[in-house]
């Protein structure tokens, strides 16, 4: 199971479509893929399942219900309560090295800067995670 949490509707849909083309049973016949996307952190956390394998998470998420901004740090801590074995990939344009370091200490698998090649990098990291899981079978 792959979960995408991105509050930009266009980017969310583009990333979801991209991951669906890369990760499906015709490419990896030994896996059944389920890719879900969410526009808010609260919606994701409410529906997050224990057996989620990978989460692609935007660092800054605007919560329309409460007009506040949640950070990836907030969501990583909450997500780890629900799916302790989930590999989390943070995607953001924030440039604070201290924040990135703290995220890695919280158990984030990787941090990817938002650039023109972000989708390719995400695909590569997800493929790396899946390849490591192949050795478990």
* Average confidence (pLDDT) over 7-30: 90
Distance CA 77, CA 93 (A): 20
pLDDT, one tens digit per residue, over 31-54 is 889 999 999 888 888 888 889 999
With beta carbons less than 8 A apart as the criterion, state whether 30 and 134 touch: yes
pTM metric for this prediction: 0.86
- Cα distance between residue 25 and residue 110, in whole Å: 25
What would the mean pLDDT of 89-100 be, rounded to a whole number?
86
pLDDT of residue 23 exceeding 60: yes
**DSSP secondary structure code for residue 70 in this structure:** E
Per-residue confidence at 130, pLDDT binned at 50, 70, 90? Answer: confident
Q: How confident is the model at residue 65 (pLDDT cuts 50, 70, 90)?
A: low
């Amino acid at each position: 199971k792959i979960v995408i949490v991105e509050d930009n509707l266009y980017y969310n849909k583009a990333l979801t479509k991209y991951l669906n083309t890369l990760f499906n049973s015709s490419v990896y016949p030994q896996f059944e893929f389920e890719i879900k996307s969410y526009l808010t952190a609260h919606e994701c956390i409410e529906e997050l399942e224990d057996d989620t394998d990978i989460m692609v998470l935007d660092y800054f998420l605007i919560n329309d219900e409460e007009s506040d901004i949640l950070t990836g740090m907030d969501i990583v801590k909450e997500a780890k309560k629900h799916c302790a074995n989930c590999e989390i990939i943070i995607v953001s344009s924030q440039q604070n090295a201290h924040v990135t370091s703290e995220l890695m200490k919280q158990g984030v698998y990787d941090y990817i800067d938002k650039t023109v090649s972000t989708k390719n990098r995400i695909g590569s990291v997800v493929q790396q995670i899946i390849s490591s899981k192949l050795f478990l079978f």
